[in-house]
Chains A and B, each alone.
Chain A
């Protein structure tokens, strides 16, 4: 029986965010916004959802006088992402 896809990850923007963060240790809000071409508001909302699920952490700090928001994936997020990809492979019958 096919495993159900994690609804939290099965949305375009949240999946894009997780894919970026899985491939690096940390990325800034600005960078994720550029790569996903999402609006700042929408991105913030989706990041909050991922934080609430414990999939990512968001660290807000200052670099000089400029605010800097850095996001990174948690172990829980990594596991959820890997399970999601495994489930996808099952759907598509990819080995």
Chain B
């Protein structure tokens, strides 16, 4: 492209062409972070559930929930490091910024919930359920919002399922209805399948098709 002067029509056409070129496209591996967090949460959930059943409901098993932070966090760093080269090849869009801030905020809120939960443990209060409710509601909210931003229906629906489940669990907690391992853990796993695993695979498949 040379530095030539354009007439009005050519200018408008050039603007339209450039905007079209930079239109947001999915990139290969778009759903990898979702898949990583989704599978980690589901597998750890299963591990906690099995441990609770085998130990007759020993609350110490709940410390296994921290594996989500450890395994998820390490995986996220690896995926993000691999993704760094992308910034040279693709523009960083407003959608990228909103998505990144959205999940960042959700991460901080969940970290706060985790810290509160740990804090209460020291006062002899069994508040693991806070983390559970946070997981349902925050993952659901994040997934739904991200779905709206990316116009990805599977994320909107998956997130909505988790929000409904989270509200139900919160209702049980507030009404002193006991949360039984046999239904809470499968519900937790199912929610992560709907909010992260299915949308992650859908996004990756769409990106593969598009690129």
Per the CB 8 Å criterion, the residue count for chain A at the interface is: 35
Per the CB 8 Å criterion, the residue count for chain B at the interface is: 31
Residues of B with C-beta under 8 A to A92 = 8-9, 12
- By the criterion CB–CB under 8 Å, are A63 and B94 in contact? no
Nearest residue, chain B, Cβ from A35: B21
Chain A min CB distance to B54 (Å) = 46
Residues of A with C-beta under 8 A to B90 = 31
- By the criterion CB–CB under 8 Å, are B91 and A31 in contact? yes
- By the criterion CB–CB under 8 Å, are B88 and A31 in contact? yes
A10, A19, A20, A28: the one contacting B87 at CB < 8 Å is A28
Knowing that A11-B3, A85-B12, A88-B11 touch, tell me 12 more A-B residue pairs with CB under 8 angstroms: A10-B5, A10-B11, A11-B6, A12-B2, A12-B14, A16-B14, A19-B15, A23-B18, A24-B92, A28-B91, A68-B87, A92-B8
Residues of B in contact with A (beta carbons under 8 Å apart): 1-6, 8-12, 14-15, 17-19, 21-23, 84-85, 87-94, 96-97
